[in-house]
């Protein structure tokens, strides 16, 4: 499982020009599920992202987590994160999980983040979405479960 974690001032996701999820200060997470991922990957990644110390403290050092901040998270499924571009000019998605597994683990990740006390919004799994992100910093990290 892979997550692109972006520290944001605000973020929203729309489908057909209608906002389906929006947050203020917090994290925008683009989540990709790989073949072979399990609930343990989702649980590990949820805990890791929620506890990442990437928000500034009073000394302007990245020393606070999303949990410390009381921030929000917007989670958007994105299978293209598993695209392999090493050969040719067209990405291969053979390492991406099948949609049924990916959807189940995506929802498990969201449930774990919520259970950890984070106000969580989502996009819609499998939908064509437009994402608006106001990156803060910018701070963007790649986090893997393996």
Active site residues: 78-80
Contacts of 33 (CB under 8 A, 6+ apart): 1, 77, 79, 82, 96, 97, 101, 102, 105, 106
**Dihedral sign computed on CA atoms, order 10, 13, 16, 19:** negative
**Dihedral sign computed on CA atoms, order 30, 34, 37, 39:** positive
């Amino acid at each position: 499982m892979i997550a692109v974690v972006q520290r944001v001032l605000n973020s929203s996701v729309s489908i057909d020009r209608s906002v389906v999820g929006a947050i203020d200060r917090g994290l925008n997470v683009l989540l990709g599920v790989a073949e072979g991922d399990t609930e343990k990957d989702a649980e590990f990644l949820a805990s890791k992202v929620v506890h990442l110390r990437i928000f500034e403290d009073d000394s302007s050092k990245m020393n606070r987590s999303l949990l410390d901040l009381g921030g929000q998270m917007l989670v958007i499924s994105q299978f293209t994160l598993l695209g392999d571009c090493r050969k040719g000019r067209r990405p291969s998605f053979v390492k991406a999980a099948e949609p049924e597994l990916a959807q189940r683990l995506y929802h498990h990740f969201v449930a774990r983040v919520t259970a950890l006390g984070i106000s969580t919004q989502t996009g819609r799994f499998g939908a064509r979405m437009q994402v608006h992100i106001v990156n803060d910093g910018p701070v963007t990290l790649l986090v893997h479960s393996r």
